[in-house]
Structure 1
Amino acid sequence: MKSEIRAVLMEKDSSSYLVRQEYHKARLWQGGGPLLGRLDMEVTERCNNNCIHCYINQAADDRELKAAEMSTDRIGRILEEAAGCGCLTVRFTGGEPLLRDDFPEIYMAARRLGIKVMLFTNATRITPEIAGLLKRYPPGEPVEVTLYGMRRERYEAVSRVPGSFDAAMAGIGLLADYGIGFRIKGIYLEESSDDAREMEEFAREKTGRDDRVSFSMNFNLRARRDSEEKNARIRRLRATPEQTLAVLTREPEAYIRDKKAFAQKFMGPAGIDLFSCGCGKGGAVDAFGRLQPCLLMRHPDTVYDLADGSIRDALERFFPEMRKMQATDPDYLETCAKCFLHGLCEQCPAHSWMEHGVLDGRVAYLCDAAHVQARWLGLIGEGEKAWEVEDWRGRVDRFVQGSRFNVQC
């Protein structure tokens, strides 16, 4: 096989950004090939905002948490190990990753390994220095900025931090001025739903991209199950299934087209295996050096402490064993295991853990949202439950081959 050429980053004291190197000799591919395509990394759980809907954020000035976070050197070692497993992209998230004073060192540790960076940020801490870093050493992926509203009062009703709207707009302005590729994401709250069109126009103007703005609405409960008070607030903020449908079908033909492509490949009963998704085939490192099978999955039986092992061991031994887990909850076995809306529904062990503290508890909220969408698509009839449908394969085939159709109950 011909040697391919890959650009990899020079050492820190070099005046050049890239050097050409034979593909098979790059450190990125040492150690047996690409076990890990992308790594998620929460570099902190702390955030300078205090968003009403957030599933993970902790106070920016929490000294105990800050002291417990991974050091710069430890993050660098984990990135080296990820590169040895073939990692091509790392997603830095939090909390707010730019709260860390050492973010430039963390960022460059990834880029010197040839790993592309996806930065998830609220943009309030984008400074000329950060923008200059991203311009000089491009991340390789668009920065993703979450915007909580197009008016100061609405934004700060969500962030609960005075001055955060102006800081976010200034950060977005710097990204645009420095020519940094970025995307804008939003959140759906009923009182700010009319922001959507204005936000999309703003995003096109600032980013130069014609991407649709994605909106979060079915908010996750607290990932560490640390506050029932916060969970109660998050539940009150969630969109109804009907509101979810209205947002998803803003462009109905595009929505139907996407669902046809999805249904043809993925739709069908989940069965008794809990991990029928890609959970555990990649990984997410939390702020304290524990490797999770995905960003949301924090059940203690599924988390691997990298202080006692390696990414390679987790991917080759620990996670494959975890993926053999099967459901035992009677309600789950009679509903989710038999439901052909698997995939259209966001039910998974991580959501079950956040909602119920177990891996196989049916999340009624997600179930209701999936059924409303399925009825609109014509996959089930009014009052029908998807786990009761015996001819689900025929329905999926007719949906994929035609347009929406009516189901006679």
Structure 2
Amino acid sequence: MSDCEITSVLPSKLRTYAKKNRIPLSATFELTPFCNFTCPMCYIRLTKEQAEKHGKMLSADEWLDVALQARSMGTLYVTLTGGEPLLRPDFWEIYSKLNEFGFLISIMSNGSLVDENAIEKFRKYGMPYQFKLTLYGASNKTYERVCGVADGFTRISNAVKLLKDSKVPLMLTATVVRENADDLQKMYEVAREWNVPFQHSISVVKSARGAKNSVKKSRFTFDEFIDELTLEKLEKNKFPPLDSPFAWCANYGNSFWMTWNGYMQLCAFMNGPYTTLENGLESAWEKLNIKLDSLKSPYECADCKYAEFCQRCPGTLCAESGDSEKTSKEFCKIAERLYAAYQKLIKEE
């Protein structure tokens, strides 16, 4: 699950109030760029050598200082992610203090490090508001192919049982790529067997901030699912005219993403503009919003007849083209084909 999906499930009235008053209601703390899985589509995972070129990880004390500043500014929801957040040796120190501070904490994890010890820690320090576990397949064979771990599904199955038995609010998410697509139906089946909510996405974006992924190899092309479109599906996915690049952005003005090395940005994908913690979190928040307010949609989008079928998210544009004010040829191509499919289906009605 992406951070925009996280923000979208927050109480709408609270989110509307926060956005109107520029209150950072929610924050995502990217605790580490490291992960014990090696998924080919990952946009953030770094090796130790790669990470050293991009700064150092914030310490536990630095994260807790950020958290206290955020709380004073009105932050209520905090999501802990990575990489794999539970890999940090000081994860439980950070988690326990955040609970003491009164945050509603969500954890985004691959689940592989959830064992009896982790459950005991949750019992000791308090259960998370939600645990979002990413599912990569429905067999050990698929986990080995996608994640590079031999017993991944066995470990995740055990993690799900432990979390459910402990009454931890649990949600399953999945990114469907070529390497695990054959398991999608089975993933839904196991989610039903476990009685856990599950949702999937086929969205795969280019890597950010020094990471390197195999987007072209892993993600599906638009042509591979165009025949499955119906008029009803297209109607539901039409986008209204935008009066700003962030008109339908759930994060804009009420949420921030703090990277593992101390940069504040809007979301996981939008690695520019960003601000630093040099003058404190409140200053970083104010400067970030000023920078975001100044952004404009790509000039090509101004009078585009395909606009209502274009998912021109500034964050994704930034990841795809390197600049949120530049369009992506792939975005334009998809929007044009969606428009053509829509017109064809209307004529057939």
TM-score by length of 2: 0.81
Q: 1:145 aligns to what SS in structure 2?
A: strand
Q: Which residue of 2 aligns with 1:216?
A: 201
Which one of the candidate residues 275, 284, 290 is aligned to 1:304? 275
Q: Which residue of 2 aligns with 1:69?
A: 57
Residue 54 of structure 1: how far off its partner (Å): 0.3
The separation in 1 between residues aligned to 2:309 and 2:122, in whole angstroms, is 36
Q: Which residue of 2 aligns with 1:181?
A: 169
Answer yes or no: is 1:357 the counterpart of 2:322. yes
The separation in 1 between residues aligned to 2:106 and 2:216, in whole angstroms, is 29
Deviations 1:40-75 (A, max 9, x none): 110000001111110001237978489921111111
| Structure whose CA Rg is larger | 1
Answer yes or no: is 1:98 the counterpart of 2:38. no
Q: Which residue of 1 aligns with 2:132?
A: 144
- Amino acid corresponding to residue 219 of structure 1 in structure 2: V
The separation in 1 between residues aligned to 2:124 and 2:143, in whole angstroms, is 31
Residue 191 of structure 1: how far off its partner (Å): 5.4
Q: 2:141 aligns to what SS in structure 1?
A: helix
Question: Is this contact kept in 2: 1:244–1:369, CA < 8 A?
Answer: no
Residue 148 of structure 1: how far off its partner (Å): 0.9
Residue 203 of structure 1: how far off its partner (Å): 1.2
Question: Is this contact kept in 2: 1:147–1:185, CA < 8 A?
Answer: yes
Q: Which residue of 1 aligns with 2:18?
A: none
**How many residues are paired up?**
326
Q: Which residue of 1 aligns with 2:255?
A: 282
The separation in 1 between residues aligned to 2:299 and 2:51, in whole angstroms, is 44
What are the ranges of 5 or more consecutive residues in structure 1 without an aligned counterpart? 1-32, 383-404
The separation in 2 between residues aligned to 1:63 and 1:292, in whole angstroms, is 18
CA distance change for structure 1 residues 344 and 143 in 2, over 3 Å: closer, same or farther?
farther
Q: Which residue of 1 aligns with 2:218?
A: 237
The separation in 2 between residues aligned to 1:75 and 1:155, in whole angstroms, is 32
- Amino acid corresponding to residue 207 of structure 2 in structure 1: R
Q: Which residue of 2 aligns with 1:316?
A: 286
The separation in 2 between residues aligned to 1:196 and 1:45, in whole angstroms, is 27
Which one of the candidate residues 172, 183, 199 is aligned to 2:187? 199
Q: Which residue of 2 aligns with 1:153?
A: 141
Q: 1:117 aligns to what SS in structure 2?
A: strand
How large is the RMSD of aligned CA atoms in angstroms? 3.1
CA distance change for structure 1 residues 240 and 130 in 2, over 3 Å: closer, same or farther?
same
Answer yes or no: is 1:326 the counterpart of 2:296. yes
Deviations 1:9-52 (A, max 9, x none): xxxxxxxxxxxxxxxxxxxxxxxx88111101100000011111
Q: 2:80 aligns to what SS in structure 1?
A: strand
Structure possessing the higher relative contact order (Cα contacts under 8 Å, 6 or more residues apart): 2
TM-score by length of 1: 0.70
The separation in 1 between residues aligned to 2:162 and 2:62, in whole angstroms, is 30
What are the ranges of 5 or more consecutive residues in structure 2 without an aligned counterpart? 1-20
